[in-house]
Amino acid sequence: MPESVPLPENESVRALVKRFNSPVSIHSYGEVYSDTTEFMNITYGDVIAVGGRHFLVLGDERERRFGMEDPKFWVKRCLELETGGYRILKLEFQEGFDQHIGPLTIPCRRSAAKEARILRLVAGDGRFMQGESFHDARGNVVRVLQRVDGRRLDLNVEDIRANHRTYFHEIYPDILERFIRACRAIHFLHEHGETHGDIRRDHLYELHDTGEYCWIDFDYGYEATENPFGLDLFGLGNILCFITGKGVHTTQDRARDEDGPLITEADCALFFRHRIVNLRKLFPYVPEALNRVLMHYSAESEVYYETVPELLADLEPCLEVLRRK
């Protein structure tokens, strides 16, 4: 990992800011930070100097989930002063926390080193967000990320204006095909001893130019277990259920449908007992083989996928069946 260069004279940074024709209004620039330890203090108009480059801070990134917004003070939206390019800087935030999946609690840590390692591994691979990492003057790992030129896959799927039957027959096969490629991307990580660690549907983007899918945010580190890829396989299953159902279907939604099929606990997800994974009960045209894949994630399943090839061995033939119809 390249070491940070010595902090330039403030005057030269001022000249850079001045020379740079910012698309946003920068009235004045604040501090120049070569040490990002106190990331809470780094704010709009400051400059982060790392890796021989200078990044003008535009603000903190925000996480938008379930209609809520949380500021991420360690993730800065920036403009690179040398090139004018938009960049996301993830600063080192040593945070340990418990992740909750249904009734389970999993100790987890944000690991800048892990994400930096994966960025090096996937450099040039469009299936993953791209970026570099540098040490700042205090040895903190700073990740300089390129903006993913795309939109969250789940939002795109939700926005498709078609009823489920039309969606499933006309649009879904293409989505599944690309999702299978995204699964192979995760397998690539596993083959190299890495995990994504935080596979969820808002961490998969559809790229504007190619339509291919791109994974983001892989900084969660966990304890090694007997099933090291279990969490990733769990996340892939959740996304598969989402794209197949064109959204999440819950028992609460179905409670209003008195003429609908009887949904039992066995039809629901192992970890989320209100979320229906037996989608064939809702949409009878979902092929049996595809539904069997989904049922591996149900409360009644006794057999689980442990590796991506196991999942794909069942899933890829489903795509062929859908293509033939």
Partner 1 sequence: MDFKKVLISVDASANAGRAVDYAAAMLAGVTDVRVTLLYIERAPGRDRFESEEAWLGQCQLDHERVFDFLKEARGMLLAAGLPKDAVTERTERCSTEPSIAQTILDIQQTGGYGTLVVGRRGITKGEEFLFGSVSTKLVRDARNCAVWVVQ
Residue 59 Cβ, how far from partner 1 at the closest point, in Å?
27
Indicate the residue among 289 and 299 with the shorter CB distance to partner 1: 299
* Contact call for residue 91 and partner 1 (CB under 8 A): no
Residue 305: phi and psi, rounded to 5, are: -75, 135
DSSP conformational letter for 162: S
Our CA angle for 41, 45, 47, nearest 5°, is: 75
Number of residues this chain uses to bind partner 1 (CB under 8 A):
32
- According to CB under 8 A, which residues from 254 to 273 bind partner 1? 270-271
Which residue from 15, 225, 266, 313 is in contact with partner 1, where contact means CB under 8 A?
225
Look-up of token digits 């260069």: 5
Report the C-alpha gap between 136 and 138 in whole angstroms: 5
Which residue from 21, 27, 66, 104 is in contact with partner 1, where contact means CB under 8 A?
104
Sign of CA dihedral 42, 43, 46, 52: positive
Alpha helix (H) residue ranges in 71-171: 112-121, 153-159, 164-166
Indicate the residue among 169 and 192 with the shorter CB distance to partner 1: 192
Rounded to the nearest 10°, the torsion over CA 206, 209, 211, 217 is: -30
Which residue from 52, 107, 211, 284 is in contact with partner 1, where contact means CB under 8 A?
107
Which residue from 44, 93, 283, 304 is in contact with partner 1, where contact means CB under 8 A?
304
Report the C-alpha gap between 61 and 70 in whole angstroms: 9
Residue whose C-alpha is closest to residue 222's, from 49, 132, 97, 119: 97
Residue whose C-alpha is closest to residue 257's, from 281, 241, 235, 278: 281
* Contact call for residue 74 and partner 1 (CB under 8 A): no
- According to CB under 8 A, which residues from 125 to 184 bind partner 1? none
Which residue from 21, 193, 256, 325 is in contact with partner 1, where contact means CB under 8 A?
193
Residue 114 Cβ, how far from partner 1 at the closest point, in Å?
4
Report the C-alpha gap between 31 and 26 in whole angstroms: 13
Indicate the residue among 67 and 103 with the shorter CB distance to partner 1: 103
* Contact call for residue 96 and partner 1 (CB under 8 A): yes
Look-up of token digits 């990492």: 133
Near partner 1 by CB under 8 A, which window of 9-17, 67-75, 248-256, 301-309? 301-309
Query: Where on the chain is the footprint of partner 1 (CB under 8 A)?
Result: 94, 96, 101-104, 106-109, 111, 113-114, 193, 221-228, 230-231, 234, 270-271, 299, 301-302, 304, 306
